[in-house]
Amino acid sequence: MSNQLESGDLAASTAGAAESKPSTAFCLIVDDEKAIRSVIARSLRKMMIMTEECGDASSAIATLKRHTPDLIFLDVSLERSDAIEVIRGLGDMQFRGYVQLMSGRDLPLLQEIKRVGERYSLKMLSVLQKPFRGDAVPNILREAGISGNTPSGLRVGLFDALCAGWIDLSYQPKIKLRGMTLAGAEVLARVVHPEHGVIAPREYLQGADEASLLALAEHTLTAALRDWTTFADAGVPLRLSINVPMSALIKVSITSLVRDNRPSSASWPGLILEIGEDQILRDIPLAHEIATQLRIYKIHLAIDRFGAGISSLAHLQELPFAELKLDRRFVAGCADNDTSARFCQAAVQLTHRLGCKAVAVGIDRPQDLEVLTQMGCDMGQGTFLGTAIAKEKLAAMIRNRSI
């Protein structure tokens, strides 16, 4: 198995993920200063503790309705609100975790606010005045009885990898077969352990809960939008493709993420979101609705692993897509296997009749490349065309015109 999080790994894991309680603690950081939130979050993630950040009371209360943290870092003065407003909300929902007040204000005021929290039966920790030393966060965790986890061996879960910031992106080139030019790149997420290096997907996807899988999809989407500028500056405004589960289209605010993080350049070509054939078939009307909305933001869908599921070519006309990715089981060896070749040919022809692009995944031999090119397949991916590489390396190859 490849070390990358290959297309379909994330989607397939979401489809079969069992609910499980995260093994590490969860802390909510509520502060209107992003720099302060980042400092605390980095310190917590080093200790394998999950974090979420908010800048005001309303977003903090909304987060608390979705997740229950073990500890809340709460600034006194917030954007358009204050700590008392949060404390009232915590009291109403009978919050049972710990609350760490922090502020640059005078100590008597902090002590008064702490007493307000205690009147709401909240577990208020000793107040913390800003600025504070780097060892303050571990001391706070000890006071709350929370112990951070440290990695041991290769037993790394997706939740832990997200907490520790071990997610790394690589990019596999998508090549236009007629002319052999760079047409785009697929974004692949990897877990890179600081001691053990790249961790195989089977090690961290097994047993991953849906929340972690969706968090991975959100992280990958945001990072890819940010990375696009690197490729554009190198000379090619690549259209990037990202494999996501169908549930991410429903539960992740993709339109908001794109609005907030999309490049400002007029040459940005948009994104391709790849959805597994088996998942998109479950609710075709919903897929149509979501695909229509996403097109407003220059985001198009691709059907991934086509041929691996139970559908037939006839389903293509019902599905909303811009690209169809032929499953590697038919692509690999298609030059020698008549059945695989006939399937690829039929898929390419029908895809073109529907005005879409066909992408062959798993081109690992020159003879398969030749056959697929003769069929009129539009694009391809595979080890023969280029393996997944780091952003900087792909950008350098673009600048040097070596790809």
Query: What is the per-residue pLDDT across 79-113, written as a single tens digit (0 to 9) for each?
Result: 778 899 899 999 999 999 999 999 887 788 888 99
Check if CATH label 3.20.20.450 holds for domain 158-399. Answer: yes
Q: Phi then psi for 317, rounded to 5 degrees? A: -70, -15
Whether residue 267 is predicted with pLDDT greater than 90 in this model: the reply is: yes
Sign of the torsion angle spanned by Cα atoms 179, 180, 182, 185:
positive
Common-topology check for domains 26-143 and 158-399: no
Query: What is the per-residue pLDDT across 30-52, written as a single tens digit (0 to 9) for each?
Result: 998 887 888 888 888 877 788 89
What distance, in Å, lies between the first and last C-alpha atoms of the chain? 26
Query: What is the per-residue pLDDT across 221-231, written as a single tens digit (0 to 9) for each?
Result: 999 999 999 99
Whether residue 305 is predicted with pLDDT greater than 70 in this model: the reply is: yes
With cut-offs at 50, 70 and 90, classify the pLDDT of residue 313. Answer: low
Q: Which of 350, 346, 385 is nearest to 364 (CA)?
A: 385
Whole-number Å distance between alpha carbons of 175 and 148? 45
Within 10 Å of residue 250's Cβ, how many Cβ atoms? 12
Q: Is the peptide bond before 131 cis (omega within 30 degrees of 0)?
A: yes
Whether residue 116 is predicted with pLDDT greater than 70 in this model: the reply is: yes
Q: State the Cα torsion 224-230-231-236 to the nearest 10°.
A: 130
Query: What is the per-residue pLDDT across 235-260, written as a single tens digit (0 to 9) for each?
Result: 999 999 999 999 999 999 999 999 99
With cut-offs at 50, 70 and 90, classify the pLDDT of residue 301. Answer: very high
One-letter amino acid at 30 equals V
Q: Which of 239, 240, 254, 237 is nearest to 291 (CA)?
A: 254
Query: What is the per-residue pLDDT across 345-379, written as a single tens digit (0 to 9) for each?
Result: 999 998 999 899 999 999 999 999 999 999 999 99
What CATH superfamily is the domain 26-143? Response regulator (3.40.50.2300)
Q: Which of 97, 141, 147, 140 is nearest to 117 (CA)?
A: 97
pLDDT at 309: 58
Whole-number Å distance between alpha carbons of 173 and 191? 20
Q: Where are the beta strands (DSSP E) in 246-285?
A: 271-276
pLDDT at 380: 98
Query: What is the per-residue pLDDT across 171-186, written as a single tens digit (0 to 9) for each?
Result: 999 999 999 999 999 9
Q: Report how far apart, in Å, the C-alpha atoms of 375 and of each of 316, 321, 326, 331, 348 are.
A: 19, 20, 13, 12, 7
DSSP per-residue codes, 4-50: SB-TTHHHHHHHHPPP---SS-EEEEE-S-HHHHHHHHHHHHHTT-E
Query: What is the per-residue pLDDT across 6-31, written as a single tens digit (0 to 9) for each?
Result: 434 444 444 443 333 344 688 999 99
Query: What is the per-residue pLDDT across 378-388, written as a single tens digit (0 to 9) for each?
Result: 999 998 999 89
Burial class (CB in 10 A: 0-12, 13-18, 19+), 175: buried
- Helices marked H in 262-365 — which ranges? 277-280, 284-295, 328-331, 338-353
pLDDT at 12: 42
**Which has the higher per-residue pLDDT, 63 or 196?**
63
pLDDT at 58: 86
Mean pLDDT rounded to a whole number for the chain: 85
Whole-number Å distance between alpha carbons of 293 and 356? 18
- Compute CA 163 distance to the chain's CA centroid, rounded to the nearest angstrom: 13
Output helix, strand, coil percentages for the chain, rounded to the nearest 5. 45, 25, 35
> Hey, where are the domains in the chain?
26-143, 158-399
Q: State the Cα torsion 74-78-83-86 to the nearest 10°.
A: -90
Whole-number Å distance between alpha carbons of 208 and 23? 11
Q: Calculate mean pLDDT across residues 314-332.
A: 85
Whether residue 62 is predicted with pLDDT greater than 60 in this model: the reply is: yes
Length of the chain: 403
Whole-number Å distance between alpha carbons of 400 and 395? 9
With cut-offs at 50, 70 and 90, classify the pLDDT of residue 155. Answer: low
* pTM of the full structure: 0.63
**CB < 8 Å & 24+ apart, contacts of 113-118:** 113/76, 113/83, 113/84, 113/87, 116/84, 116/87, 117/87, 117/90
